[in-house]
């Protein structure tokens, strides 16, 4: 079984809809991250969490919110989706003892 899973893997939605992307991990890592990836812009950090009670904004948090329901689960919400949020979204985890991040398979989101 995959250590970091993301659901859904693909999603097409319309402008103004609320969308939730979910991330689960079985690695037992405290640190979790949400990134989006756009051609030419690379990976950009949306939100990150170092434990259940510690959530921080990244460089592009506007229009997004997150919830850390448990150590293993970190969800990303788009309250009112807009077309420029069309992107590939990755969740990542990181153990406290290293700087290495482990990525989920990604969610391709299209906002029409």
Partner 1 sequence: QKEVEQNSGPLSVPEGAIASLNCTYSDRGSQSFFWYRQYSGKSPELIMSIYSNGDKEDGRFTAQLNKASQYVSLLIRDSQPSDSATYLCAGHSGGYQKVTFGIGTKLQVIP
Q: Which is nearer to partner 1, 16 or 28 (CB)?
A: 28
Query: Minimum distance between the CB of residue 17 and partner 1, rounded to whole angstroms?
Result: 24
**Cα–Cα distance between 94 and 33 in angstroms, integer?**
8
Binds partner 1 by CB under 8 A, chosen from 50, 52, 60, 73: 50
Do residues 102 and 93 lie in contact, with contact meaning Cβ atoms separated by under 8 Å?
Answer: yes
Asked if 97 is part of the footprint of partner 1 (rule: CB under 8 A), the reply reads: no
Query: Minimum distance between the CB of residue 5 and partner 1, rounded to whole angstroms?
Result: 11
Binds partner 1 by CB under 8 A, chosen from 1, 84, 97, 99: 99
For the chain, the first-to-last Cα distance in angstroms comes to 33
Instruction: Quickly count: other Cβ atoms within 10 Å of residue 17's Cβ.
Output: 14
């Amino acid at each position: 079984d995959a250590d970091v899973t993301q659901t859904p893997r693909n999603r097409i939605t319309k402008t103004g809809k609320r969308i939730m992307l979910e991330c689960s991990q079985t690695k037992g890592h405290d640190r979790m991250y949400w990134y989006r990836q756009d051609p030419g812009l690379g990976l950009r950090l949306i939100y990150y969490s170092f434990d259940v009670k510690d959530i921080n904004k990244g460089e592009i948090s506007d229009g997004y919110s997150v919830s850390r329901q448990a150590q293993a689960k970190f969800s990303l919400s788009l309250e009112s989706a807009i077309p420029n949020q069309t992107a590939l979204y990755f969740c990542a985890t990181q153990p406290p003892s290293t700087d290495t991040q482990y990525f989920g398979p990604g969610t391709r989101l299209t906002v029409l």
